[in-house]
Amino acid sequence: MAYLTADCINLNISGNSAYSVLKALADMAEKQGVITDRNAFLQTLLLREKMHSTGFGAGIAVPHGKSACVTRPFVLFARKAQGVDWQASDDEPVNCWICLGVPQAGEEDQVKMIGTLCRKLIHADFIAQLKQGDSSQILTLLNQTLGE
């Protein structure tokens, strides 16, 4: 399972569109050394969004992708004060992103991580902690969640 470090969290991500936020997330993944090709991972995320928005609702999106450029499963968290139109299921803007990446052969890991997160994302207190917590609180929250 993927675990976060403090470097996997950005509480003031740049971008005012889905494309620019996904680009910033791909940049974060590249800096973490968990992908071998930033453009390939960005394309993976963009193709996933084209199929169906990853906007979960309540201001949260879970962009994710499985790609040969991913060297190990990872999780990134990003937030920004202003919401971005993400065509979420509730039509609300998104201001928190949990980005998941898994290697090409990692479908089981991806399904498991998304399932675990989705079970938590239906709880208002979990969402509030994501939206208001500082880096160390979010780090603890997501690592505990994904370690379950």
Active site residues: 64
Strands (E), 24-93: 55-57, 60-61, 64-67, 74-84
The three-point CA angle 15-143-21 to 5° equals 10
Q: Which residues contact 90 (CB under 8 A, 6 or more apart)?
A: 55, 57, 58
Classify 12 as helix, strand or coil.
coil
